[in-house]
Homo-oligomer: A and B are copies of this chain.
Amino acid sequence: MGLSARKMEILRAVVTDYVKTAQPVGSRTIARRYKMGFSPATIRNEMADLEEMGYLLQPHTSAGRIPSQKGYRYYVDELMQEIQLDDDEKKRIYGVFSFEKMREIENIIRQTSQLVSSLTNYTSLILGPRLQKSAFKKLQIMPIDRQRGLLVLVADTGVIKNKVINLPQALSQGELNRIVAHLNRRLEGLTIDRITSRLIRELRRDLYHHINFLEATFTLLEESLAEDESRVFLGGTTNIFNQPEFGNIEKVKSLLMLFEQHALLANLLSRPLAGVEGIVIKIGRENILEEVQECSLVMTTYCLGKEVVGTIGILGPTRMEYSRVVAVLQQVVGQFERL
């Protein structure tokens, strides 16, 4: 798959220019704007080759070229140059993460997704920590009134879940404490996904006369397992309106409707990252979902503690400022993980 140095130059120029202008790039433009010392005719020949090899496309005979999906892929893999964010941008990132108030993981994620989308002008997708892989830390029940209590589940990743549950009237505070203590003893240190099956068998036996009341606890744990949807955080969803390729209302519609289907998004974000480290870029049809086949997704996992727990992704048109997006993502994840 060796391209000549000149072809690389030209491919890079096409990508660069098309990303900037969203207009097909002609040979004259390249010769003029990227002063590579060849005449437009030479560049035309090269571009014809590149097209034949599948790296470029021509919307119609008398238009310039645009990168094909394969072209973007080659650009991303081989040609893209690392760029530095400028100081203002870095400061903005540091600023967000140095805020003292950031104690709640959900808040942090929300802020991060705002930050990422506003730095890139694309849409940010963040998958929060997976409760399933977090270790159980503590469970408590706080009485609210006669009939109800607040069940709080704390995981070692800092995730806190609550749920209002019904308490049987007959239950005394002492009994409640004993039950909670027992649960805590039995569950300590387990990861959440290893809990349910054990709970249901063993704990039921231990606490069989409180089963009714415990159902809600099981429910919370089970919900935590099926909670893929509630892990998805979006930022800058309206940024697509800034992209000329989404001038068409149908496309905007299908994307925005997708944004409401968190289960699908969770899948989109977690699938391609299984077992991979570092930044992953999925271009156009490389993505699973039909709705984003004109989009690219730049994403990476992040860790809290030692475990991989979630994903941060940036979704934009295939005509995306890949190098910039990668730089932003690296910086942000770096800071994020330091918390």
A residues with a Cβ closer than 8 A to B are: 103-104, 137-138, 140, 142, 144-145, 148, 150, 152, 154, 160, 162-166, 237-238, 241, 247, 249, 252-253, 256-257, 260
Contacts and interface: CB of A to CB of B under 8 A. Distances in A.
Nearest to A165: B103
Given A138-B144, A238-B257, A160 B165 contact: no
Contacts of A152: 142, 150
> Which residue, A137, A160, A165, has most C-beta atoms of chain B within 10 A?
A160
**Which of A144, A152, A260 has the most chain B CB atoms closer than 10 A to its own CB?**
A144
A230 to B, nearest CB: 11
A203 to B, nearest CB: 21
Contacts of A260: 237-238
Integer count of this chain's copies in the complex? 2
Nearest to A141: B142
A176 B160 CA distance: 21
Contact of A160 (B150, B241, B253, B257): B150
Given A241-B249, A252-B249, A144 B160 contact: yes
A104 B164 contact: yes
